[in-house]
Amino acid sequence: MRINKYIFGMFVGASMLFAACDTDNVGAEYDGTATGQGISFATSTLKAISVPATAPTFKVDIFRSNTKGEYSGNLEATGTIGGQAADCFSVSGFSFADGEAASTVTVDVSQLEIGKVLALTLAFTDSLNMGYTNNEKLTVNVNVEYNWQSLGNGTFTDNFFGFYSEPEILKAEGFDRYRVMAPCEAYRIDPANAADDWIASWSAEYIELWVENGFVFWDAWFTGQNYGGDASSPIYAYHPSDFSSLNDPEFWTFSKFVDSKTIQLAPYYYINGVGGWNYTQRDGVVIITLP
Task: Quote the Cα angle for 239-241-245, to 5°.
Answer: 120
pLDDT for position 14: 38
Are the C-beta atoms of 57 and 110 separated by less than 8 Å?
A: yes
- What tens digit of pLDDT does each residue of 33-64 get? 445 888 999 889 999 999 999 899 999 999 99
In the sheet where 57-64 sits, what is the strand order?
39-41, 57-64, 102-108, 90-91
pLDDT for position 94: 95
Query: Which residues touch 60 (CB under 8 Å, ≥6 apart)?
Result: 41, 46, 104, 105, 107, 122, 138, 140
Picking from 128, 61, 115, the residue whose alpha carbon sits closest to that of residue 88 is 115
Q: Give one word for 241, left, alpha or beta, with left for phi > 0 and alpha for psi -120 to 50.
A: alpha
Q: Which amino acid is at 173?
A: E
- What tens digit of pLDDT does each residue of 136-183 get? 899 999 999 998 999 999 999 999 999 999 999 999 998 999 999 999
Domain ranges, ordered by start, for the chain: 39-145, 148-289
Residue numbers in the chain where pLDDT is lower than 50: 1-34
Q: Which fold has domain 39-145?
A: Immunoglobulin-like (2.60.40)
pLDDT for position 29: 41
Q: What are the angstrom distances between the C-alpha of 223 and each of 134, 146, 182, 278?
A: 53, 25, 10, 15
pLDDT for position 132: 64
* pLDDT mean across residues, the chain: 87
Q: Which amino acid is at 250?
A: E
